[in-house]
Amino acid sequence: MSDNYSVSIQRIKKVVPKSLITNDFESALKDTQDRMSQVIVNDNHRTKEILMTSIHNFYRYVDGKMTCFKKDGVKDVKFIKGTPHGKLVIDFYNFSSLQLDDIVNGRAFDFIQDIKPKTINHAGYDNTIRGEFPQLLDPDHAEEIDRLRRWMQDGHISHYEYDDANPVYPKAGK
């Protein structure tokens, strides 16, 4: 049993009713190899569906079948109403959408926050006031600094490694 599965099942058991956690669901969860973070349960009036998020994907389990969606395929999300009887709409880039009309368990707003498209703000590089820091030493470095910052925000390097690799910040006292 992997560490991701044990953490995921603990989080899921806090939200999902025990009657929905079947052996088929547990085996489908093991097959995903992802660590789940946000969980909601939607009642679509013929069966209940469980939706879960991981770092890069979100999953929908309904009728014994696990479906994986990529988070970067989400175009827009609309939060309409929180639980109980919550409502939300997820629009995809392929012009399809997923409408959840009766969310009975979980936190719908937190689920939306985890899957909504995230835009990273680009730094505005202009001529800064002389002598003030941080200032851009060479405007040609702007794109590289943005890539470096995204690399740090995605968790690939630490803030200290970012500071060391960034030519803009002064290194006094290091």
Q: How does pLDDT run along the chain (174 residues), one tens digit per residue?
A: 568 888 888 888 888 888 888 889 888 888 888 889 899 999 887 888 999 999 889 999 998 899 999 998 999 999 898 878 889 999 999 999 999 999 999 898 888 988 988 776 555 555 444 445 555 556 666 777 788 888 888 888 888 777 777 766 665 555
CATH 2.30.29.30 residue spans of the chain: 3-115
* pTM metric for this prediction: 0.65
Provide the CB-side half-sphere exposure for 122 (13 A, CA). 7
- Evaluate whether 111 touches 104 at the Cβ level (below 8 Å): no
The CATH number assigned to the domain with range 3-115 reads 2.30.29.30
- Residues linked to residue 49 through DSSP beta bridges, in sequence order: 42
Query: Which of 33, 39, 44 is closest to 6 using CA atoms?
Result: 33
